[in-house]
Amino acid sequence: MRLVAAELVESREILPRQWLQSYHAPSLAIGSRAGQFVHVRPGDFSGLVLRRPFSFNTIDAATGVVTIHFRAIGRGTDWFAHLRTGDSVDMLGPLGRPFEVDPRSRHVLLIAGGLGIAGVRMLADEAIGDGRQVVLLFGAGSAAEVYPSNLLPDEVEYIVATDDGSLGHRGYVTDLVTEYEGWADQAFACGPAPMLAALARLAAGRRERLGVARLGRKGGGRTDAPGSAAARRKSFLQVSMEQNMGCAVGACLGCVVMGTSGQPQRVCREGPVFAADELDWEAGW
Amino acid sequence: MKAGRAASSGKAHATRHRPGRDRRPGPVVEPIGGGPPEVIGRIDLSVELAPGLRLDNPILVASGTFGYGIEYGDVVDVQRLGAICCKGTTLKPRIGNVTPRVTETPAGMLNSIGLQNPGVDAVIERYAPTWAGWQVPVIVNVAGESVEDYVEVARRLDGVPGVAGIELNISCPNVGKGGLQFAIDADAAGAVTAAVRRATDLPLLVKLSPNVADVRPIARAIEKAGADAITAINTLSGIAVRPDRSRPLLGNIYGGLSGPAVKPVALRIVYEVAQVVDIPIVAIGGVSELADALDYFAVGACAVQVGTAVFADPTLPIRIIDGLEAECRRRGFDSFRPLIGTALPRKPGASSAKGVEYRP
């Protein structure tokens, strides 16, 4: 975790009100992993007192450029959208825990709902770099909000669902999951809470539906502590969670989600990535 | 001016201050072109909040914004802080309130964490050994639902290496029985303070709630009950509404407002309390730059806590410390005490009643 001055090198409105910004931040570009995030300070402290969390969208270690992808939905994100090339912002990062891919996973399924693409986008690069096959299921309201395919690596198989059927499958992105759950060794998702809850329910029933064996040694081996990187690596579904956030370092306890243990889990510290079975999806938190 | 331990506090010192009188002859250089001589030696930023609780400088980090002192890792050099007030601690573990728990508001934020904490025993076990190895004092913020709760937590903290003091949180606005009933009634505030005072010799700070009609009788009761210092203020009760206006935004509906938005309220309360008590006042409320700290000193505080602003800039408390030292140097002071109380009424007793108090 470091405080870094990052210079805006490119800012593009890639979808209506959605911005993709590239920042030169070499010290964040090395050692940060997919699923982690930065907490970025809007310049105007008199009005905007909180930093804004953004997942690493992509990282180019060679050029030292990290990108973030966000929707301008309020005063803070508007402030970022109005930044100009050459402006500098204060980034705190890398924060949180990354996605954990099992080294044996050949087939990686990414599931993104709307802006949730920002949470899993970088994992596509990492998985392809590691020689895995990647399918990305993407859901949005309509064709106008569909993430541009030219921003994805060519190797990714990109499947789209829209609520109104204006592009791809008509319906929810979760409808597409059953088609790929047998193919996938692991799945990684980010999006609205109801979507993630639906995916968690699907994942919980997957083994029974498919009759597949659990990854890892049958019967034997250690049981990894819930929430540990090793346990997450063995889970089929990992989700990147979102929550209103204060400090982003685990101090304020603002950004919790309820765990199956009955203990609130900090999105900024234990998360933002969780194994789906670590979270209590019925708690209503 | 009452006799006693307050005599060694910054505030008492300041009320007696006359320009130039306190200044020990130190190494000074006359700047070219006049102005106050600049002090080149060490500036004394230390402040004694209680017997046995001397801080190297008057800049603390506020409870709830700095966890247990370890969360910011290498980003903040915690050893340089005046003191750390840790997250509110209760007798039993608490899981806190439903989410959302925080939201930004104009020039501030609302929080309703609901005192999530692992309980006093776990706090002692997990964090006190680390604190014991630090030079920076850690003040444990204590919350409870009954006098017995407060007393029992204080008793368990008593004598624990690494625990430098207690800040009684009798004013958490975010839990049904968060102790707020103690903060809005002078007798109750005095009773809980006295009970904890009997249970421990630890330095004892009591944190005031702004959610009262007149804070002065409460502050007096707390002083009379034996508190070493007063912290003012806790958050202001408030709510926000969801963007779709379907219901209040926070899971708990009510939250506590903090940040620059509350500073005028906190400043007013510190100003009022400073005129009715002799124990040190630790001011808190929207400190986000050196000038805010100087304002609080001017109305009688002898230390300040930085809270919400830490989220935006974790290094701010350290920069305020450096800034304060530079300010003293620039003005020719070898300590920050001459900055304290400069905006208080000249004659004790003239009080803020001289102005028309705005109390709708």
Contact check, Cβ <8 Å, A49/B116: no
Q: Walk me through the domains of chain A, giving residue ranges and CATH numbers.
A: 2-95 (2.40.30.10), 107-212+222-239 (3.40.50.80)
Label residue B177 by pLDDT band (50, 70, 90): low
Query: What are the pLDDT digits (tens) for A207-239?
Result: 788 876 555 555 555 678 889 999 999 999 999
Axis-axis angle for helices B263-274, B216-224 (nearest 10): 50
Nearest to B64 by CA among B80, B96, B95, B86: B86
Q: Beta-carbon neighbour count of residue B242 at 10 Å?
A: 12
Contact check, Cβ <8 Å, B311/A48: no
What per-residue confidence (pLDDT) applies to B120? 98
Residue in A45, A252, A284 nearest the CB of B312: A45
A263 burial (CB, 10 Å; 0-12 / 13-18 / 19+) is middle
Interface residues from chain A to B (CB-CB < 8 Å): 1-3, 41, 45-51, 76, 90, 92, 243-257, 262-264, 269, 284-285
What per-residue confidence (pLDDT) applies to B6? 39
B75 neighbourhood in chain A, CB within 8 Å = 1-3, 92, 249
Task: State the Cα–Cα distance between residues B196 and B71, nearest whole angstrom.
Answer: 29
What per-residue confidence (pLDDT) applies to A173? 96
Residue with the larger pLDDT of the pair B16 and B207: B207
* Residue where the block lists tokens 């047998």: A182
User: Mean of the pLDDT values across residues B260-264?
Assistant: 97
Residue B356 lies in a domain: no
> How large a percentage of chain B has pLDDT more than 70?
84
A204 vs chain B: nearest CA distance in angstroms? Answer: 25
A172 vs chain B: nearest CA distance in angstroms? Answer: 23
A47 neighbourhood in chain B, CB within 8 Å = 106-107
What per-residue confidence (pLDDT) applies to A161? 97
What per-residue confidence (pLDDT) applies to B187? 93
- Residue A51, both tokens: 């930093």
What per-residue confidence (pLDDT) applies to B57? 98
Residue B359 lies in a domain: no
Give Cα A152 to chain centroid, integer Å.
15
Residue with the larger pLDDT of the pair B47 and B2: B47
Of all residues in chain A, the one with the smallest CA distance to B108 is: A49
What per-residue confidence (pLDDT) applies to B172? 62
User: Mean of the pLDDT values across residues B94-99?
Assistant: 95
Contact check, Cβ <8 Å, A46/B113: no
**Residue type at B239 in one-letter notation:** I
Q: Active site includes B172? A: yes
Give the mean pLDDT of chain B.
Answer: 88
Query: What are the pLDDT digits (tens) for A259-279?
Result: 999 999 999 999 999 999 999
**CATH number of the domain where residue B305 is located:** 3.20.20.70
What per-residue confidence (pLDDT) applies to B28? 53
User: Mean of the pLDDT values across residues A168-181?
Assistant: 95
Q: Beta-carbon neighbour count of residue B184 at 10 Å?
A: 16
Of all residues in chain A, the one with the smallest CA distance to B66 is: A251
Contact check, Cβ <8 Å, B311/A2: no
- Is the dihedral angle over the CA atoms A205, A211, A212, A214 positive or is it negative? positive
Give Dmax (Cα) for chain A: 58
Range of the domain at B33: 5-349
Label residue A44 by pLDDT band (50, 70, 90): confident
> How large a percentage of chain B has pLDDT more than 90?
79
ipTM metric: 0.91
Query: Could you give phi then psi for residue B306, rounded to 5 degrees?
Result: -105, 130
Contact check, Cβ <8 Å, B313/A90: yes
Residue with the larger pLDDT of the pair A27 and B42: A27
B65–A contact, CB cutoff 8 A: yes
**Of A45-59, A102-116, B114-128, which gets the smallest average pLDDT?**
A45-59
Residue B357 lies in a domain: no
Query: What are the pLDDT digits (tens) for B46-89?
Result: 999 999 999 999 999 999 999 999 999 999 999 999 999 999 99
The enclosing H or E element of A273 equals strand A273-275
Contact check, Cβ <8 Å, A252/B72: no
* Residues B82, B94 contacting (CB under 8 angstroms): no
Contact check, Cβ <8 Å, B96/A41: no
- Number of Cβ pairs < 8 A linking chain A and chain B: 113
Residue B67 lies in a domain: yes
Of all residues in chain A, the one with the smallest CA distance to B75 is: A2
A254 neighbourhood in chain B, CB within 8 Å = 101-102, 111, 113
Say what the pTM is. 0.90
User: Mean of the pLDDT values across residues B212-219?
Assistant: 95
Contact check, Cβ <8 Å, A244/B103: yes
Instruction: Round to the nearest angstrom and report the end-to-end CA distance of chain A.
Output: 28
A284 neighbourhood in chain B, CB within 8 Å = 98
Residue B190 lies in a domain: yes
What per-residue confidence (pLDDT) applies to B294? 98
How many domains, in total, are found in chain B? 1
Q: Does A145 have pLDDT greater than 90?
A: yes
Label residue B277 by pLDDT band (50, 70, 90): very high
Residue B13 lies in a domain: yes
> How large a percentage of chain A has pLDDT more than 90?
88
**3-state helix/strand/coil string of A60-108:** ECCCCEEEEEEECCCHHHHHHHCCCCCCEEEEEEEECECCCCCCCCCEE
Q: Does B3 have pLDDT greater than 80?
A: no
Label residue B40 by pLDDT band (50, 70, 90): confident
Residue B320 lies in a domain: yes
What per-residue confidence (pLDDT) applies to B11? 40
* Residues B149, B160 contacting (CB under 8 angstroms): no
Residue B358 lies in a domain: no
Label residue B212 by pLDDT band (50, 70, 90): very high
B317–A contact, CB cutoff 8 A: no
User: Cα dist. B197→A248, B21, B161 in Å?
Assistant: 36, 36, 19
